[in-house]
Structure 1
Amino acid sequence: MTLRRTALHGPADHADEATPSSVAAGRTGSWAEGTPLRWRLALLTFAGVALAVGAMTLLTYWSVTTALTVGVDRDLDSQATVLLNRTVDPFYLTNLEGEIQQFKAFHPDTRVSISPPGWSFSRGDVIPVGGEVHGASGSERRSVRTVGNERILSRSDSVGGTVVLAKDMKATHDLITTLASVLLIIAASGTMLAIAAGTLVATAGLKPLKRLQRAVDYVAETDDLRPIAVQGNDEIAQLTRSFNKMLGVLQESRTRQSQLVADAGHELKTPLTSMRTNIEFLMMLNRPGMGDRISEQDRQDLERDVLAQMTELSTLIGDLIDLSREDAGETAREPVELDAVMESSLERVRRRRSDIDFDVDLIPWNLVGDQFSLGRATLNLLDNAAKWSPPGGVVRVRMTQLSDDRVQLSFADSGPGIPPDDRTRVFERFYRSPEARSQPGSGLGLAIVKQTVVRHGGTVRVEESDDGGTMVVMELPGKPQVEASR
């Protein structure tokens, strides 16, 4: 056997090894886990609307209250400005008491106290002065505060005049109280509407889910995998389409299983029947007086047939197990050195067919996959090539890098080849061409190869070799492995 390994030149590829993140521990149960989705949606809708109504109510109350207070302060400030300007008029001061009474006649809800410039006392009502004073000494000063039901404003000008106004806020407070009552009624009404809206939204929103649930229950109860009718184009419709895809995959898997059972039963029936006939014949010959009915050579041929049929059954059962293993697709994936897998398969085939020469050219190549399945696939292809090669023939194996992440393996023999019409069918389960029916085999080897290659993200096809035989070409993903010395 001629074995050549072709080293790849170039810088080493550095790949970050993905580390699986840890999964959080189980959470403790909450009330939401035991509450129906309908009520959770209704509660969330109610909470959202109630929060919005409450926020708008508080904002409205604050805005109106602030606006009313600012309006009162603005009116008092305007009135104080007018009174301060008149305190510098001597004619105004000569009848100050009368002017105060006239002011109060026009503003019955406001008390007033005036201290003209240079006076050490004031005229009018007794109003307590206090609060935070704004303005520097020698300039205009102003203070505003609320005492009881009165809003008190004090203004002093730069020449020493002072005016204090106290406005009765009872009417304003009554207005604010009325406003608060109205806003509370609105908030309560909004909350009730929020409850109704939440219930309505939850009921209407969950109708498609209820329909989907009934369809799923129907599938579970009847085992009928027909697709569910899709209505609309919203998220529920997308969920239904995804569910239909899952049903399609389940139906396809069920069909494959049924076909596998039917085909396996058909393929097992023939060797079992033949082996049973031969065994019954051998048992009959072992009876007294029946041993001389056939020659010793015929007896030995019969025994060899039984052993060959048992071997055929064992091979068929092994192939069926491998095929079901590929169908499951649940094998663990790990880094695989494809060239090492090829060398192992070559060693096994070389021991079986020492009369065949193997011309092999391999390159170091890594991929992530199932080493056992890849080994079985390459062994099947090498076995086929050796089986159809005549004694003294050469099986040519080539491993070629197609791109940075793609490699090609070709297995060429010098046998009779496969007709073009049969080259796509040879990968079907239990299919055997007329030329191959005289040879031992189950018809599952190439089907296992195709499933393995496809599951690893590759392709496989049959072509004609250079000398008219068969060449199977397989492509797989991966990356080149740079040797340690480089």
Structure 2
Amino acid sequence: MILRRRATVAPSADAAPSATELRDERTTLRWRLALLTFAVVAFAVGLMTFLTYLTVSRTLTAGVDHDLEQLSGVLLEQSLDPFYLTNLNAEIQQFKMYNPETRVAISPPGWSFSRGDAIPVGGDLRGHLDHTSPVYRTVGGERIMSRSDSLGTTIVLARDMSGTHQLITSLGTVLLAITALGTMLAIAAGLVVAATGLAPLKRLQRAVDYVADTDDLRPIAVQGNDEVAQLTTSFNAMLGALQESRTRQSQLVADAGHELKTPLTSMRTNIELLMLLNQPGAADRISASDRQDLERDVMAQMTELSTLIGDLVDLAREDAAEITVESVELDEVIASSLARVRRRRPDLEFDVHMIPWRLTGDQFSLGRATLNLLDNAAKWSPPGAVVRVRMIPLANDRVQLTVADSGPGIRPEDRERVFERFYRAPEARSQPGSGLGLAIVKQTLVRHGGSVWVEEAPGGGALVVAELPGHPQPAASR
């Protein structure tokens, strides 16, 4: 058994690997995980930095707009006083004294010009003169607000944004530095996460390599209860199944060798005796009837050996876990097996009741299994006895097949073991057979989704009960 075998497929001449495929082959899982972690963290840091910059920039601008709106409200309220408009220039100068960073232009109602600073508004604001809500623009590094009241007074305020822009620029620089630092930390975090996250996988890989190198199928120690631990548990289950298969294989070889050795030894002895009798002058040492008995023994041993080899081949075929999927008429398979058994035991009566039943499976394997069931019942039934075969539907997708013989039956303590390979009850060891027939039956039925067990027949003898899936088949469709 080679556990580290790798299947390789040679690339065709016109299907050269792409650069991406070559890069993926060179990149280890550790670096892939590190790069993925770096990409996720870097994206998160970059996104948060951008959102922070955008939020702070808009907050500072909104603060300037709020100040301008409050100042415009005060000026509009003062413009309602006639004496304020009479001394407008002085009032503007006083306003600028208290607000040196703000420029102002006031246009009283009905005026076609304004007093104060010449403020470029960046467009025609006359469309907004009938609205009391403020209008904002940014022109030439200044934040400009225009606001009118219901009487027609218009206030235009402008504030230099250079300080705010400088603050925003400084903030952007700091955030870029934070982003760079965060990216470096993301790389380090990616490497740490990759090393830490893959440490259990490395331990599992070393354990698997040890199993492959030493062929030691002992379970691997499970640490924790995470996904790697579950993977280790699954691998241990695979090792257990592999060890069980190896044990069964060794046992099969040992049992087969033992079972083959007995008829081979006996047949060799009889053949050597026949060869000795064929020598000149030795023919008179044995009677003709004894010689015929000896020849019959050789033929019987050859038949027994041939049957045993056939059973071993069938058992190996079932072990291969390859099932031919085809539609099988179970009642026809049973009828074919029954015809063969009747030819072998014409002295028995077969009481048969079958129903049309179809399932999907391997017709050859099912034929072999049903033949073994009927052969087993015929072997243990005395001449003139009755073998009862019944097919009973349990549901629309399940059928029960029972085969009852008229023999001595099977002891309760042996009813489970009769399906083991090469097992033969003490009272059965004098009978011909290899002990593989019922093992083949069980293995075949289990592979087809069925089951089989042994009970005591109502009139005495053994009752073998088998269940199989499928569905009834109307007689008209056959």
TM over 0.5: yes
Is it true that 1:324 corresponds to 2:323 in the alignment?
no
Alignment correspondent of 1:156: 148
In the superposition, the TM-score normalised over structure 2's length comes to: 0.90
Cα distance change of structure 1 residues 163 and 423 upon mapping to structure 2, 3 Å threshold: closer
CA contact (8 A) 2:122 2:139 kept: no
Within 5 A, what are the aligned runs for 1:169-318?
Answer: 169-318=161-310
Shift of 1:173: 0.2
2:290 partner letter = D
Q: How far did residue 345 of structure 1 move?
A: 0.9
> Which residue of the partner structure matches residue 450 of structure 1?
442
Report the AA paired with residue 71 of structure 2.
Answer: Q
Matched with 2:38 is 46
Q: Measure the CA separation in 1 of the matches of 2:422 and 2:402.
A: 23
Q: Secondary structure at the match of 2:83?
A: helix
Whether 2:118 is the aligned partner of 1:126: answer yes
Which of 346, 356, 373 is the matching residue for 2:348? Answer: 356
Please, which moves more after superposition, 161-170 or 89-98?
Answer: 89-98
Match of 1:425 among 417, 425, 431: 417
Report the residue type matching 2:132 in the other structure. E
SS in 2 for 1:46: helix
* Distance in 2 of aligned mates of 1:352 and 1:243: 50
Tell me the residue number matched to 1:104. 96
Tell me the CA shift for residue 116 of structure 1.
Answer: 1.9
- 1:444 positional shift: 0.9
Shift of 1:265: 0.5
Shift of 1:442: 1.1
**Cα shift at 1:192:** 1.4
Is the alpha carbon distance of 1:120 and 1:457 closer, same or farther for their aligned partners in structure 2, counting shifts above 3 Å?
Answer: closer
- The yes-or-no answer on 1:68 pairing with 2:71 is no
Which one-letter code corresponds to 1:338 in the other structure? L
Shift of 1:276: 1.4
Residue in structure 1 matching 2:28, options 36, 51, 58: 36
Among 81, 84, 99, the residue aligned to 1:89: 81
Q: Secondary structure at the match of 1:484?
A: helix
| Cα separation, 1, equivalents of 2:230 and 2:238 | 12
- CA separation of 1:139 and 1:414: change in aligned 2, threshold 3 A: closer
Q: Secondary structure at the match of 1:292?
A: helix
One-letter amino acid of the counterpart of residue 143, structure 1: V
Alpha-carbon distance change, 148 to 390 in structure 1, aligned in 2, over 3 angstroms: same
Q: For the residues of structure 2 that align with 1:355 and 1:79, how far apart are their CA atoms?
A: 123
Q: Is the 8 A contact 1:230 1:241 kept in 2?
A: yes
1:288-329 CA-to-partner distances (Å, cap 9, x unmatched) read: 333333333333322222222111111101101111222232
Deviation, structure 1 residue 252? 0.7
In 2, the alpha carbon distance for the partners of 1:137 and 1:270 equals: 119
* Compared CA separation, residues 238 and 266, structure 1 to 2 (3 A): same
Give the deviation of 1:244 after TM superposition. 0.9
Q: Match of 1:345?
A: 337
* Contact persistence 1:134–1:141 (CA under 8 A): no
For 1:270, give the aligned amino acid: T
CA–CA distance in structure 2, aligned partners of residues 202 and 473 of structure 1: 57
3-state SS of 1:462 partner: strand
* Counterpart residue type for residue 233 of structure 2: R
Q: Distance in 2 between matches of 1:329 and 1:301?
A: 43
Matched-pair contact (CA < 8 Å) for 1:131–1:145: no
Deviations 1:393-420 (A, max 9, x none): 2211111122343322111122233334
Which letter does structure 2 place at the counterpart of 1:239?
L
Q: Which has the higher contact order (CA 8 A, sep 6+)?
A: 1
**Per-residue Cα deviation, 1:43-72 (whole angstroms, up to 9, x for no partner):** 111111111111111111111111111111
Alpha-carbon distance between aligned partners in 2 of 1:437 and 1:88, rounded to the nearest angstrom: 126
How big is the shift at 1:455?
2.6
1:217-274 deviation per Cα after TM superposition (whole angstroms, max 9, x unaligned): 1111111111111111111111111111111111111110000000000011111111
Q: Cα distance 1:443–1:139, how it changes in 2: closer, same or farther (>3 A)?
A: closer
Q: Percent identity?
A: 73
* Partners of 1:54 and 1:187 within 8 A in 2: yes
Once the two structures are TM-superposed, the CA of residue 141 in structure 1 deviates from its matched residue by 6.1
Give the superposed CA RMSD. 2.2
Partner of 2:151, secondary structure, is coil
Structure 2 contact 424–435 (Cα < 8 Å) conserved:
yes
Deviation for aligned residue 1:428: 2.1
How big is each residue's C-alpha offset from its partner over 1:61-85, in whole Å with a ceiling of 9 and x where there is no partner?
1111111111111211221222223
Does the 8 Å contact 2:129/2:148 carry over to 1?
no
Which deviates more from structure 2 when the two are superposed, residues 428-437 or residues 66-75?
428-437
The number of equivalent residue pairs is: 460
**Which stretch shifts more, 442-451 or 347-356?**
347-356
Which stretch has the larger CA shift, 247-256 or 300-309? 300-309
- Judged with a 3 Å threshold, the aligned counterparts in structure 2 of structure 1 residues 154 and 440 are, in CA distance, closer, same or farther, namely same
Alignment-derived partner of residue 13 in structure 2: none
Counterpart Cα distance in 2 of 1:364 and 1:141: 91
1:24 counterpart residue number: none
TM-score (norm 1): 0.89
Match of 1:23 in 2: none
Change in Cα spacing, 1:296 to 1:44, as seen in structure 2 (3 Å) is: same
CA drift at 1:134: 8.8
* Partner of residue 9, structure 1: none
Q: Does 2:48 match 1:56?
A: yes
